[in-house]
Amino acid sequence: MIGFAWLQSRTQTLVAAGALAVVAVVTAITGPHLVHVYDTSVAVCQAHDDCPAATNGFLRIDHTLSNWLNVLVVTVPGILGIFWGAPLAARELETGTYRLAWTQSISRTRWLAVKLGLVGLASMVTAGLLSLAVTWWSSPIDRVSATAFASFAQRDIVPLGYAAFAFALGATAGLIIRRSLPAMASTMVVFVLVRLAFDEDVRPHLISPVVKKFALSFGGFGIHNGGPPTVQPNLPNLPGAWVTSIQMVNRAGQALTTRIVEAACPNLNLPPALGSGPGTGRGTAPVGGNPLEACATKLAPIYHEVVTYQPANRYWAFQWYELAIYLAAAIVLGGLCVWWIRHRLS
């Protein structure tokens, strides 16, 4: 059965191998250059005191390629789920070839288990090799980013989990829906929704974040779409940490509003409310540093910052937890598939 599964998936495996080879070549050719520029500009920028300029210049190199590689790592698991997982059972069911495959000499449960295992493994290996190449290539770039968590989903081991889950999702959809195209469409929709929901609502809570108090400090003004400008807190020095929220509160827990700031620091020139346009959101308008700092010092005895964050050294814990959850989901779906083919397809 293993031999036959290979026989059937030979073409798609070769396509994947070819694509991976292209990525490998591209990253191998351009990677060392990136490292070289990093070593000669950013690594020594402290000594030359031109870090911002050096960093910006460095980030502009191969900017497009970096984006493409990131897009690739994000989309490949879903693509594998749609094109390898969904048609696995669905195509046999809709073309009728299941009547040939399941009447040879092996049970259909074994047929499915071997196909799920083999092609699922191939999906994980493909996503893993891709992630390996991109993580390696991007490591200089990642060194200058504020936190490793910024590129969490496109690096290291989580893409393996995404690929396993997307594949299992596709296979389940194909088995239940029995038609390739609807199964592919629903796999895509469900996978995207799950990824988004996990990113937003699950990942931040995988490990209880650290909550710490810091002295009050203002970073500037933020403008929400068309609303009045608000005073934004300054990020404390937590290198590499993933900050999920900063609140400015007093000892009783009451928030520091812009009205209180205006009342306490009357000579602060708040910029007029700007209309919504590109870059609207929590951007900071450039303001002279001193009035803001003075105001912050004035309010500091009463108000402080409460920062909720995940320290940098938890990055790998998060990677393993998320991988484990997605793998567990994939295994559950695989079990569902085996149960379904045994009991529901008669």
Partner 1 sequence: MTAVLEATGLGKRYGRRWALQDCNFAVPEGKVVGLVGPNGAGKTTLLHLAVELLAPTTGSISMLGHPAGDHPSQLSRVGFVAQETPIYSQLSVAKHLRMGALLNPNWDADMAENRIRQLGLDPRQRAGSLSAGQRAQLALTLATAKRPELLLLDEPVASLDPLARREFLQELMEVVAKHEVSVVLSSHLVADLERVCDFLVVLVASRVELAGDVSELLASHRRLSGPRREAGSLPAGQDVIAESHTDRQSTFLVRTDEPVLDPAWTVAPVSLEDLVLAYMSKARDGQPARRTQLEVLR
Nearer to partner 1, 108 or 195 (CB): 108
CA distance 203 to 329: 15
Position 105, amino acid = S
CA distance 337 to 314: 35
Nearer to partner 1, 111 or 315 (CB): 111
Report angle CA 94, 11, 82 to the nearest 5 degrees: 50
Nearer to partner 1, 68 or 102 (CB): 102
Taking residue 339's Cβ as centre, other Cβ atoms within 10 Å add up to 11
Nearer to partner 1, 63 or 99 (CB): 99
Q: State the residue for tokens 């897009």.
A: 71
Nearer to partner 1, 1 or 144 (CB): 1
Put residue 190 in one of left, alpha, beta given phi > 0 → left and psi -120 to 50 → alpha: alpha
User: CB of residue 111 vs partner 1: minimum separation in angstroms?
Assistant: 9
CA distance 213 to 28: 45
User: CB of residue 98 vs partner 1: minimum separation in angstroms?
Assistant: 8
User: CB of residue 128 vs partner 1: minimum separation in angstroms?
Assistant: 28
User: CB of residue 333 vs partner 1: minimum separation in angstroms?
Assistant: 24
Write out the residues near partner 1 by the rule CB under 8 A. Answer: 1, 3-4, 7-8, 11, 95-100, 102-107, 346
Q: How many residues does the chain have?
A: 346
User: CB of residue 90 vs partner 1: minimum separation in angstroms?
Assistant: 15
Contacts of 286 by beta carbon, 8 Å cutoff, 6+ apart: 220
